[in-house]
Amino acid sequence: MATKANSLVTLLLRGYRLYMTRRRWIADEVSGNRAVLTGSHAEHLARVLRARVGQEFDVSTGEEVRLGRIVSVAPERVEFELGDPVAGWDALPVTLALSIFKFDRMEWAIEKCTELGASRIVPVISRRTESHLAAAVSKRVERWRRIARQAAQQCRRAGTPEISGPIKVKDAITLPGNIRIVLSEVETQTSFKDAVQTVRKNNLVLAFGPEGGWVEEELQVFQQAGWTSASLGNTILRAETAAIAALAIAAAEIR
């Protein structure tokens, strides 16, 4: 009995080590059967994880995930030879238009929505966006992109969601999509679950208001542009909670 138990432990440890050595990276450069990590990504792999020639990792090219074998290591450049494709999962055809809210919670929302599969996240400056946040948002976009990249690698996505620069509501209403839904706490007729029942194989755009919600004029603008207004229920949710909940519901319908 002890021998069988020891054998099982050994197999589990081998599987764990294999999983750990197959960490996933998103390439900074791809050319033919070669992929490269540069800058801080290469530095982390080379210096922190002590990468060496011959090690194998999963490498995302942005279009697919392939087995990558390290062929050269330098402090700011790690080069891979790409091999066979490996299992990966595609992003959902969902764009999130997130009205800007407190940056720490915005970062958390971006991380979790990346894990859930959003393909694009667009920060929106709305009427109730706090002025100091609106003034500082352009300097935050690169940080948000880094957070999304790290989250994508952690959850083993094939690629990173696009994090756009900030836009205003008048531009947000023109975001392209087959189904476009603005989440509203004042909506009483249409539930979000009903609104997304036909979302399969369609590009979906979801718009979320800031703290305090959309002002009436903004909701009218969305309506006039052909958006569907929907509610997540009677509970008033924080902006980041609403985004995560809605994306999870949409993901269940799409997948």
Structural domains of the chain sorted by starting position, each given as residue range(s) with its CATH number in brackets: 21-85 (2.40.240.20), 94-254 (3.40.1280.10)
CB-hemisphere CA count at 13 Å for 93?
15
Q: CA 179 to CA 216: how far, in whole Å?
A: 22
Q: Is 205 exposed, middle or buried (0-12, 13-18, 19+ CB in 10 A)?
A: buried
Strands (E), 197-243: 204-208, 228-230
Q: CA 155 to CA 117: how far, in whole Å?
A: 9
pLDDT digit of tens for each residue in the chain (255 aa)?
A: 445 444 433 333 343 333 444 677 888 899 999 999 998 889 988 888 898 999 998 888 877 888 999 999 998 999 999 998 887 667 899 999 999 999 999 999 999 999 999 999 999 999 999 999 999 999 999 999 999 988 988 887 878 899 999 999 999 999 999 999 999 989 989 999 999 887 666 789 999 999 999 999 999 999 999 999 999 988 889 999 999 999 999 998 887
Instruction: Give me the sign of the Cα torsion angle 115, 118, 119, 123.
Output: negative
Q: CA 180 to CA 48: how far, in whole Å?
A: 44
Q: How many CB atoms lie within 10 A of CB 144?
A: 22
pLDDT at 89: 67
pLDDT at 9: 37
pLDDT at 159: 81
Tokens of 197: 């029942």
- Beta bridge pairs of residue 73: 78
> What pTM does this model have?
0.75
pLDDT at 200: 67
Q: CA 96 to CA 227: how far, in whole Å?
A: 14
pLDDT at 11: 35
Which residue shows structure tokens 């087995």?
67
Edge-to-edge order in the sheet of strand 29-31? 24-26, 56-60, 65-74, 77-85, 34-38, 29-31
